[in-house]
Structure 1
Amino acid sequence: MCESDDDVPQLSSEALAALQEFYIEQQQKEDIKTTERSNNYSLGSIEENWQLSQFWIACVSAPSIYQKLKEQNSNEFSTCILEYDKRFSAYGAEYIFYDYNDPLNLPTNLTAHSFDIVLADPPYLSEECLRKTAQTIKYLTKGKILLCTGSIMEEHAAKYLGVKMCKFIPKHTQNLANEFRCYVNYDSGLDSNSVS
């Protein structure tokens, strides 16, 4: 049975704004003290039946995006963070330890295709890292993927995840050696002229 695009979950304007703000304020990713002070963004235990929630977002190796989404304090979506750095366990049950080298070593409550959208920022600009992270992403997502990585990864991103580079160019406060880009596999609005 074919569902119309109207039935497919979309990021709300608030969530999209939060993602854009993340790129403008990348400095927060480096400020672990801010992360430790934001325990008030933890919602407590994640329900075991992930299928019953309205709109689930998984942030894979993207703690700053997770933080920005939590700052929205929205009941339109629920989030979790899959991250190697155990300091982010301050987020409680929404934190899931994740090592891209063991991409499918996930808790049993993370069932296949349980997230409406998966946002990922693999930790290294390498084919191996992206290939392994892609295994996790494909396992978790119901279909929608937003990948943040270097422009040099465009060919691998298309090969492993079927995503295309957006016109939207995220900005970093850090001077990155490689151009950073967003890739999606759905109509995200990140290609429109109104997004900058």
Structure 2
Amino acid sequence: MAPSDEDDDMPQLSAGALDALKDFYGERDARQKQFEDLKAQAEDNFEGKGRLSMEAFAEDWNASQFWYNDETATTLARQLLDGATDETRIAVVSAPSAFIQLKNLLSSGEYTCRPQLTLFEYDERFAVFKEFVRYDFEQPMKLPAELKSSFDRIVCDPPFLSQDCQTKAALTVRWLAESWTPQDPANKTGSFHLIVCTGERMETLIEKLYSKVGIHTTDFAVKHAKGLSNEFRCYANFECHDWKWAKQS
């Protein structure tokens, strides 16, 4: 059959566009394969069967997903594990890349303790992990009742740089925290540990929301795997070898 005039009017992709489309689908399929492998690891309870990676979880910028680079995530994880015991309970709120590094460190053999980890996260892709609890900052205390006031170490990275989101995330942290007092210098490892990572322009609000636990801006530089235009800061209620308080309020 001879081609019709309508066929002549059909748009044709250039060779370059076809190659780009092929690369896109190739990357998508590779990412799906990574995710399926990760899911299989999680279902096997991840007993030292390889290192977990955030590469399987593509960032969704519309959902304000910006993963830490490995160095930042590992530093945060190490501070959450410093001095931890089997009785320690660690909450990771909207910071899945820190959670992944916690899992990696605990499976590496470097740590003998086995603290309880819980990931509070909106993205249900992370439900492949048994520690996942679905969390929506718009409903800051809509969480399993048995988790209230039960965590002695918390890291939180509110998804949006708005007063509303930051305030609701703080309500969640307060609800989860086993105590709401500053660290005891004589018992640092046994005191409540809080780390909040968010934008520099949130500093005044963060120090107000968490003033009762003695939080301050630190000199630790939070880095993201794909960069971020907003200046990010790490706020904490304790100093350590990885950071000092940048100033006293």
Q: Same fold (TM over 0.5)?
A: yes
Partner in structure 2 of residue 169 of structure 1: 221
Change (3 A) 1:100 1:171: same
Please say if residues 199 and 233 of structure 2, whose CA atoms lie closer than 8 Å, have aligned partners that are also in contact. yes
Q: Which runs of 5+ in 2 are unaligned?
A: 1-30, 47-84, 179-191, 245-249
Match of 1:191 in 2: 243
Provide closer, same or farther for how the CA distance between residues 33 and 131 of structure 1 changes in structure 2, counting only shifts above 3 A. Answer: farther
Structure 1 spans left out of the alignment, 5+ residues: 1-30, 45-51
Residue 151 of structure 1 aligns with an amino acid whose one-letter code is: E
CA distance in 2, matches of 1:188, 1:133: 24
What per-residue deviation string (whole Å, max 9, x for no partner) do you get for residues 71-94 of structure 1? 1124522211000111110002x1
Residues 88-141 of structure 1: per-residue CA shift (max 9 Å, x gap)? 10002x1101000110111122122x1111101110011110100000101112
Deviates more, 1:145-154 or 1:172-181: 172-181
Sequence identity, in percent? 35
Q: Determine the C-alpha separation between the residues in 2 that align with 1:32 and 1:67.
A: 18
Coordinate RMSD, CA, aligned: 2.4
Change over 3 Å in CA distance of 1:151–1:95 after alignment to 2: same
Q: Helix, strand or coil: the match of 2:160? A: coil
Partner of 1:7: none
1:42-76 CA deviation, whole Å, 9 max, x = no partner?
759xxxxxxx9511110001111101100112452
Name the CA distance, whole Å, in 1 between partners of 2:33 and 2:216.
35
Which of the numbers 92, 97, 108 marks the counterpart of 1:59?
92
Distance 1:57 1:35 in 2: 25
Write the letter of the residue equivalent to 1:176. Answer: L
Higher relative CO (CA 8 A, sep ≥ 6), structure 1 or 2? 1
TM-score after normalising by structure 2: 0.56
Partner of 1:138: 174
Q: CA 1:185–1:170 in 2, change beyond 3 Å: closer, same or farther?
A: same
SS, match of residue 109 in structure 1: helix
1:38: which partner in 2? 38
Alignment of 1:65-80 (within 5 A): 65-72=98-105, 73=107, 74-76=111-113, 77-80=115-118
Structure 2 vs 1, CA of residues 86 and 170 (structure 1 numbering), >3 Å: closer, same or farther?
same
Are 1:152 and 2:152 matched, yes or no? no
What are the Cα deviations for residues 160-187 of structure 1, in whole angstroms up to 9, with x where unaligned?
1122111111222323111111100123
Measured in 2, the distance between the counterparts of 1:96 and 1:75 equals: 25
Number of the residue aligned with 2:127: 89
SS of alignment partner, residue 159 of structure 1: helix
Contact 1:164-1:183 at 8 Å conserved across structures: yes
User: Could you state the TM-score of these two structures normalised by the residue count of structure 1?
Assistant: 0.70
Q: Which has the higher strand share?
A: 1
Alpha-carbon contact 2:42-2:128 (below 8 Å) kept = no
Q: Give me the whole-angstrom Cα distance separating, in 1, the residues matched to 2:36 and 2:193.
A: 30
What SS does the corresponding residue of 1:182 show, helix, strand or coil? strand
- 1:180 and 1:41 mapped to 2: Cα distance? 31
The alignment partner of 1:135 has SS state of: helix
Provide the secondary structure at the position in 2 that maps to 1:38: helix
